[in-house]
Structure 1
């Protein structure tokens, strides 16, 4: 290695080569990589023209690493415990974070950078993160962690990740600073393969307040332009100018829409229960609107917009030998021989024991141990992340960013059609007419997924969508690693000329 800041690195949990692509571009030389997924190994070796013999394989079986300057790894976000906290490094093997730190401690590179999901910084994982940082310190490193969004460093993706960066010598740790976010950020429309942006419409025709300012609705979007959200959310539990409900899609009357909005407006009120969203009984509906008939609610059930569900249950006589342990715990949570769903769902002990309330109530009903006392109405689609009819969100090309790519395909779509409108109502109606009903939307392509992660659009991946989505979703964002790598290099930690000068000075002083 010479004095022009070239460096060597080992690529742990290599995946498809996000770390390698980034570090190669700034003068890094990869000595070996470690990966166990066959698809990832084949993709890595194909794209880097690398021999399989350079794969060190399962990290839990690696005993030694060749001498290197930088150790990298996107440590998998496995369930993590801190067992063995008071044991030596040789006794920590078998958990991937411990295995990683074990190799760090043994090989002693000049610096390292590890990536993990943002959940590691959540309060519930505070003990785990503290432990990881302590073990890194015990290995002889000065380290800090940083929460970084890939969007800030050159990809149109909302991807928050934690990066732990450390140096063997404190002086380089003190010199290190995060690169500044780039100014001219890449937008979603920049990477869509079949989209050409049209001129931006002026604000002059948009609704304005008394001071002449464009009226902007509350922003529920990842981005917005001209006061409008840049994606449409398919959801029955939220409301906004770019939310599409099931009653917007299905053939419903104005009266049916009114009833749906009545439930939407009131279901989160504490008067109807202790849940974040509570179903309402027919009596509740009547109290809100005396003209509502039960048949109107049942018609919405027939349309599969609403559903009926038991909210409280009377406990009948039963043989204690007939019930399971979970059923027993549920029955013990009665209030005057009545089970209330909101109480069960907010019961801490039941949550800790991971007892399924709905499944257990169903089996108790099938055994005739409980009988529904109060029936309520709720929306049929109550899982926000699922969306409606296979669609969660549809992003317009004007959006700043696309959601985090994950290993499993999501229900997020894109459209290459832009919408210009003068009001929220017109904006929504145009979307339904010109995009949704004409099916002018699609999933992202393989090329676009590569670009969203910062890979070249022609990066070689398997043809099967599920396979390439898993690989690209598990990867790191290449531009982020490139920027962090440059910042590490700029500390001078890999400057061999300086090391030679220090060594010569030490030798001279000894004479």
Structure 2
């Protein structure tokens, strides 16, 4: 007996839209499909029809080939494919990322540990892409740089590059902190230049927010072109300059406005992303506190432990804070919290009792309002619950997605509850294709996206970099 499934189910399987499936049914391209009312039913074993448009595109020769090192889930791949590239080899050590990569791309040669890959085992390619390990340069990784073994992964990139003199371009990505230590940058610059590449004069620091994309996520990009390929009318010395890339006036400038953060939200998020009752209670409790104390522009975090609740004597209060032994910046916070408490003592005492705040975990006893007077209601803000407390910011852009999961929270008007942004919405922040499919738990998916590169930025940088190549006819002297 033939089993039938819906257009949505078959669309998900084939990686196309439901509307496209319906059109193919109407055109008689799917044998056995029939219409019941307004809905098409398709045999579960149906094969995807050959798309003549896709075939004609496949006949066209790709513009360039590339390899994708430290590939993650393929942010580089999406950008290069968009620009006309074909991936001939990818390398990624994380098993879940590899599974995700294989699900979304047709690259047959997906390998593991780069240290085990011999350069001569890779076919010829034009572009080397690598988002090499960031931990040696990140604040979380103690910024050991090339003194740490993971930092030496850069030299594995150089080893592969040495086996492929045909490479035309290199695109590297890493954390913002890579640019902070001149010694690290000098090593990278020296290694690339001695291999006959023009490179960016300095590490190019860019965030999606520079381009109006609602995420603050500064990353370093290093772009290289082989010297003999450069257009000398554009690249006149040993470097690629910011002005050459058309980034003057864009770098270090946030081009997001109020409300842009909500542009990445999906219409109907699953209920599973609604936060738990206690978290919602705490968010609303702090909103009550904010309005009750009249907080607007405030330059310090609010700490209940620094109120001096039920302490009348100032000396006793300072002793409770170990005031003499704390750094000056913390002394200022303590003094400001005490002033806030004393100015609103009756309200705050009642508020603490009402919400049982002294028995809450420590992160619920801390609050940061970073909206000034631009936001009048916490329901219209972006929220994060961190070890430093409940942090509320303007809805211009989201804080950086990070591999250490710390998912932003928004208020969903339809559900009338606060919820986390979904994995699909996190993918929107990284400008991943809407057809992209994930593997793993939500925690793994957030981590994958936190480790990934922003696709739109790479599209823009790649397009500009490739434009620096001199025309083949000019190269041949014609």
TM-score calculated relative to the size of structure 2: 0.58
The 5 Å alignment of 1:239-254 reads 240-241=296-297, 245=302
Report the equivalent of 2:21: none
8 A contact 1:413–1:442 mirrored in 2: yes
Hey, what does 1:61 align to over in structure 2? Answer: 116
Residues 1:165 and 1:502: Cα distance change in structure 2 (over 3 Å): closer
Say whether 1:442 aligns with 2:415.
no
C-alpha distance 179-7 of structure 1, shift in aligned 2 (>3 A): farther
Distance 2:396 2:384 in 1: 23
CA separation in 2, counterparts of 1:257 and 1:113? 59
Cα deviation digits, residues 443-465 of structure 1 (max 9, x gap):
11011011011012342112511
Residue 470 of structure 1, CA deviation: 1.1
Q: Which one of the candidate residues 181, 184, 187 is aligned to 2:260?
A: 187
Aligned-partner SS, 1:10: strand
Greater relative contact order: 1 or 2 (C-alpha under 8 angstroms, separation 6 or more)?
1
Shift of 1:138: 2.0
Residues in 2 aligned to 1:409 and 1:449: alpha-carbon distance in whole angstroms:
11
Selected match of 2:95 from 38, 55, 59: 38
Tell me, in whole angstroms, the C-alpha distance in 2 between the residues paired with 1:479 and 1:470: 19
Helix, strand or coil: the match of 1:442? strand
For structure 2, list consecutive stretches of 5 or more residues without a partner in the other structure: 1-58, 137-143, 269-285, 369-382
Partner of 2:53: none
| Counterpart in the other structure of 1:451 | 428
Counterpart among 471, 486, 499 of residue 463 in structure 2: 486
2:223 is paired with a residue whose SS is strand
| Inter-CA distance 6–401: structure 2 relative to 1 (3 Å threshold) | same
Separation in 2, partners of 1:468, 1:379: 25
Tell me: CA distance 1:412–1:139, structure 2 relative to 1, closer, same or farther (3 Å): same
2:171 is equivalent to residue 127 of structure 1:
no
Q: Secondary structure at the match of 1:277?
A: helix
Distance 1:264 1:499 in 2: 76
Distance 1:410 1:93 in 2: 24
Q: 1:82 to 1:280 in 2, by over 3 A?
A: closer
Q: Please name the residue that 1:469 is paired with.
A: 446
After TM superposition, the structure 1 = structure 2 runs for residues 66-145 of structure 1, keeping only pairs within 5 Å, are: 66-79=123-136, 80-82=144-146, 95-108=152-165, 109-122=167-180, 125-144=181-200, 145=203
Structure 1 position 37, deviation (Å): 0.9
Describe the shift of the 1:305–1:147 C-alpha distance in structure 2 as closer, same or farther (beyond 3 A).
farther
In structure 2, relative to structure 1, the CA distance for the partners of 1:379 and 1:24 (3 Å cut) is closer
1:149 aligns with 2:207: yes
Q: CA deviation at 1:74?
A: 0.7
CA distance in 1, matches of 2:111, 2:184: 27
Q: How does 1:96-495 map to 2 (within 5 A)?
A: 96-108=153-165, 109-122=167-180, 125-144=181-200, 145-153=203-211, 155-169=213-227, 171=232, 172=235, 174=240, 176-179=244-247, 181=250, 187-194=260-267, 240-241=296-297, 245=302, 256=309, 273-278=326-331, 304=358, 387=385, 392-394=390-392, 399-410=395-406, 412-417=408-413, 440-491=417-468, 493=469
Tell whether the 8 Å contact from 1:18 to 1:476 is kept in structure 2 after alignment. Answer: yes
Query: After superposition, what is the alpha-carbon deviation per residue over 1:337-369, rounded to whole angstroms, capped at 9, x for unaligned?
Result: xxxxxxxxxxxxxxxxxxxxxxxxxxxxxxxxx
Q: Is the 8 A contact 1:179 1:483 kept in 2?
A: no
CA contact under 8 A between 1:462 and 1:468: conserved in structure 2?
yes
Assess, with a 3 A threshold, how the Cα gap between structure 1 residues 257 and 443 changes in structure 2: closer, same or farther: farther
Work out the CA distance in 1 between the residues paired with 2:150 and 2:444. Answer: 30
Give 1:66 deviation, angstroms: 2.4
Question: Is contact 2:213–2:429 with CA below 8 Å preserved after alignment?
Answer: yes
Deviation, 1:488, is 1.1
Displacement of 1:35: 1.0
Instruction: Let me know the Cα RMSD of the aligned residues.
Output: 5.2
How far does the alpha carbon of each residue in 1:98-143 deviate from its partner, in whole angstroms, 9 at most, with x for none?
2112323332311111000001112xx2211222212222222221
Matched residue count: 345
Match of 1:7 in 2: 64
Deviations 1:305-348 (A, max 9, x none): 899xxxxxxxxxxxxxxxxxxxxxxxxxxxxxxxxxxxxxxxxx
Are the equivalent residues in 1 in contact too, given 2:209–2:256 (CA < 8 A)? no
Give the deviation of 1:244 after TM superposition. 8.4
Could you report, residue by residue, the CA deviation over 1:139-174 in whole angstroms, capped at 9, with x for unpaired residues? 222212200011223531111000011111153555
Distance 1:117 1:111 in 2: 21
Alpha carbons of structure 1 residues 183 and 262: separation in structure 2 relative to 1, 3 Å: farther
Partner residue in 2 for 1:503: 476
Give, in whole Å, the separation in 1 of the partners of 2:153 and 2:216. 26
1:18 CA drift (Å): 0.6
Name stretches of at least 5 consecutive residues in structure 1 with no aligned partner: 85-91, 196-230, 308-377, 419-437, 506-511
Maintained 8 Å contact 1:154/1:454: no
Contact 2:264 2:428 in 1 (8 A): yes
Q: SS state of the match for residue 163, structure 2?
A: helix
Q: Deviations over 1:235-290 (max 9, x none)?
A: 9xxx754888566xx9xxx995998x9999999999775442149999xx89x98x
Task: Please give the alpha-carbon distance, in whole angstroms, between the structure 2 residues aligned to 1:281 and 1:8.
Answer: 58
